[in-house]
Amino acid sequence: MNLSIVGTGYVGLVTGTCLAAAGHRVACVDVRANIVEMINSGRPPIYEAGLELLLSQVIRDAMLTATTDLDSAVANSDVTMLCVGTPTVNSQTDLSQIQLASQSIGGALRKKTAYHVVVVKSTVLPGTTEDLVQPSIENACQRKLGEGWGLCMNPEFLREGQAVEDCRWPDRIVIGVSDDRAAEVMRQLYAGSHCPLVVTTPKTAEMIKYVANSLFATLISFSNEVGNLCASVPGVDAREVWRGVHLDRRLTPMRAEPGKPAEVVHYLWHGLGFGGSCFPKDVAALRGFGKRNGVATGLLDSVLTTNETQPLRMIDLLEKEMDVPNKKVAVLGLAFKPGTDDLRDSPAFPVIRALKKRGAKVVVHDPVAMPLARRHDELSGVDFASDWQDALKEADACCLVTSWSEYKAITPEHCLQFMRQPVILDGRGFFDPTSFTRAGVIWRGIGYTPIVPLPAVPKWD
């Protein structure tokens, strides 16, 4: 099938690349000429694990091209996917990118006679596809929905850092369709997928996306509240508590083969709270939607409040150890999670803001997000380290914010060797508290307060 993708950011580029790898011919459209140029040369403008290799393959095989020419991309395709941004501003979704892009797609459809399906992949509140996208296209193309074109709402569930895998192996595909003809085209598009296809109305598809994100955000805030409770009881490690809870078969389906251990769900761990471009904005948008519809959303309010205060727990831990003014504090990890360079709503920012406000000298490091970080307004006045060793040098404390696997190389010995004061604030339950504490490092974590002094190591000989 020939596809055009409008908006070539995290979702558009990954979706376009994976669909091209699945055998579709894809034209990626963006208003930013610089990223179009990068894509055409096989270089992704974003960091996403596994994307560069797949993109270079589909570019080499001429299955994907990028362009700023939306008209010709729409004219030469059967399906157009709308993947532009939908930021939340003051609990309201800013739909300006959706509106503009819909008008442009409608304008292109005006000159087209062959049947075409427009697919909304961006996350939009219930009603947006039918009340905004549809009339915008109808006005621009001068044809009603069903007169040579169909509409579909097809939410995206990929996670950054695992986006290529999620896109190629989704758990389910949800399509909210305007009519049977559009549904048939979508079935053909996803014919190679081996997962359940949920066919529903556009409004229900829109709601499914917000409910999925809000459910996970709610569970993470709950996990963080539990982590905070565990930390108030020295010796109780929230990681162990969660393992004990997760093994319930309602959360972790047991393996069929007897005798094989269950794989514990690898989600819902406590830490610095959720960040990224989706959970904070989507929960806030659903809460705003509820308020406008006169529906109380007390639970969602609490989810956001817990999330806002969670990064500051790291500062509380630090202040218990030292007077912060003029201390050098290393912040390891800036991306909102490992595997991506995305800095949007990263918990690193409230931590850094609070450190700067208290007069700390902040030095930051991230394995992939440094180029974006250097241009970030909030990071003016901080020092950028070349690697984690450089960040730890002469530091009075180190805040572990993002659980990049390369930070696993940090040992207690490194802390003792490089730091002025070996104080580790672990925001992700990342390091082993026992080995760090035994070696003489002051380890403080969210979700766990070690019993100090530690019990003696048992001797076996």
Ligand X SMILES: NC(=O)c1ccc[n+]([C@@H]2O[C@H](COP(=O)([O-])OP(=O)(O)OC[C@H]3O[C@@H](n4cnc5c(N)ncnc54)[C@H](O)[C@@H]3O)[C@@H](O)[C@H]2O)c1
CA distance 216 to 328: 35
Number of residues in contact with ligand X, rule: CB under 6 A? Answer: 26
Binding to ligand X by CB under 6 A, coded x per residue (else -) over 114-133, reads: --------xx----------
Please identify which residue in 2, 23, 32, 417 interacts with ligand X, judged by CB under 6 A: 32
Q: Are 317 and 446 in contact (CB under 8 A)?
A: yes
User: Annotated catalytic sites, by residue?
Assistant: 278
Q: Are 226 and 238 in contact (CB under 8 A)?
A: yes
Q: How far is the CB of 374 from ligand UPG (least distance, A)?
A: 22
**Residues between 69 and 88 that touch ligand X (CB under 6 A):** 83-86
CA distance 207 to 126: 6
Return the number of the residue (34 or 386) whose C-beta is nearest ligand X.
34
Q: Verify binding: residue 28, ligand X, rule CB under 6 A.
A: no
Residues binding ligand UPG (CB under 6 A): 123, 156-160, 213, 216, 220, 267-269, 271, 274-276, 278-279, 336-337
267 is in an annotated binding site: yes
**Residue located via tokens 């069903």:** 146
Q: How far is the CB of 384 from ligand UPG (least distance, A)?
A: 22
The binder of 267, among ligand UPG, ligand X, none, by C-beta within 5 to 8 A per type, is ligand UPG
275 is in an annotated binding site: yes
What are 4's strand-pairing partners?
Answer: 27, 80
Select the span of 26-34, 145-153, 305-313, 376-384 touching ligand X (CB under 6 A).
26-34
Q: Verify binding: residue 167, ligand X, rule CB under 6 A.
A: no
Q: Verify binding: residue 134, ligand X, rule CB under 6 A.
A: no
Q: How far is the CB of 124 from ligand X (least distance, A)?
A: 7
Q: How far is the CB of 122 from ligand X (least distance, A)?
A: 3
197 is in an annotated binding site: no
Q: Verify binding: residue 105, ligand X, rule CB under 6 A.
A: no
Closest listed residue to residue 82, CA positions, set 168, 144, 152:
152
Q: Any idea what the Cα angle at residue 338 is, between residues 388 and 226, rounded to 5°?
A: 105
Cis peptide upstream of residue 453 (ω within 30 degrees of 0): yes
Query: Shortest Cβ contact with ligand UPG: which residue?
Result: 278
Q: How far is the CB of 335 from ligand X (least distance, A)?
A: 12
The binder of 30, among ligand X, ligand UPG, none, by C-beta within 5 to 8 A per type, is ligand X
Instruction: Give every CB contact of residue 116 below 8 A, 6+ residues apart in sequence.
Output: 74, 77, 78, 79, 80, 109, 148, 149, 150
237 is in an annotated binding site: no
Return the number of the residue (162 or 228) whose C-beta is nearest ligand X.
162
Q: Are 65 and 41 in contact (CB under 8 A)?
A: no
Query: Shortest Cβ contact with ligand X: which residue?
Result: 9
Q: Verify binding: residue 8, ligand X, rule CB under 6 A.
A: yes
Q: Verify binding: residue 288, ligand X, rule CB under 6 A.
A: no
The binder of 101, among ligand X, ligand UPG, none, by C-beta within 5 to 8 A per type, is ligand X
The binder of 271, among ligand UPG, ligand X, none, by C-beta within 5 to 8 A per type, is ligand UPG
159 is in an annotated binding site: yes
Select the span of 2-10, 48-56, 186-194, 227-235 touching ligand X (CB under 6 A).
2-10
Residues lying near ligand X in the complex (CB under 6 A): 6-12, 29-32, 83-86, 97, 100-101, 104, 122-123, 156, 158, 160, 277-278
Q: Which residues are annotated as a binding site?
A: 30, 86, 123, 157-160, 209, 267-271, 275, 281, 337, 344
